[in-house]
């Protein structure tokens, strides 16, 4: 199932980066699916994570946490490190991850991508056990 989800995400990234969501010098080529950290969900931790990302040769070279809860930041940093870009230029930019717990989430988790600047991950506070 994971390869199907990953292919869907790559298609989504391609669609999103063709419009206004792309950085003038960065077009996202691939990324892992961002997930809500299970420990953060159990601890009822939600909020914003802001990262400073530096890329070079189409890959993420460095990621620094500017703000955000450590449980959420670790997941956001791990996700950003999976990103690859079409453009080879060295670039630095900020990306915001928003982690939200809500009964109104569509899917578990639901992910809204506005790459490479914003990622929203929403999860049910108490997801059903599979």
Domain range annotation of the chain: 2-123
Q: What angle do CA 18, 22, 26 make, to 5 degrees?
A: 110
User: Which pLDDT tens digit goes with each residue over 40-95?
Assistant: 998 999 999 999 999 988 899 999 999 999 999 999 999 999 999 887 678 899 99
* 39-67 burial code (b ≥16 CB/10 A, e <16): ebbeeebbbbbebebebeebebeebebee
Q: Regarding the domain delimited by 2-123, which CATH topology (the fold level of the hierarchy) does it fall under?
A: TolA/TonB C-terminal domain (3.30.2420)
Q: How confident is the model at residue 10 (pLDDT cuts 50, 70, 90)?
A: very low
The order of strands in the sheet holding 84-85 is 28-30, 84-85, 59-67, 47-56, 91-101, 118-123, 110-114
């Amino acid at each position: 199932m994971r390869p199907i989800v990953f292919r869907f995400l790559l298609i989504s990234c391609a669609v999103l980066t063709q419009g206004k969501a792309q950085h003038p010098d960065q077009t996202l080529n691939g990324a892992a699916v961002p997930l809500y950290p299970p420990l953060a969900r159990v601890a009822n931790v939600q909020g914003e994570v802001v990262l400073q990302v530096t890329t070079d040769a189409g890959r993420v070279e460095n990621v620094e946490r500017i703000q955000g809860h450590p449980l959420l930041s670790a997941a956001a940093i791990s996700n950003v490190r999976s990103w690859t870009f079409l453009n080879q230029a060295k670039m630095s930019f900020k990306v915001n991850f928003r982690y939200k717990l809500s009964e109104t989430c569509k899917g578990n988790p639901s992910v809204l991508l506005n790459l490479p600047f914003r990622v929203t991950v929403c999860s049910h506070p108490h997801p059903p056990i599979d």
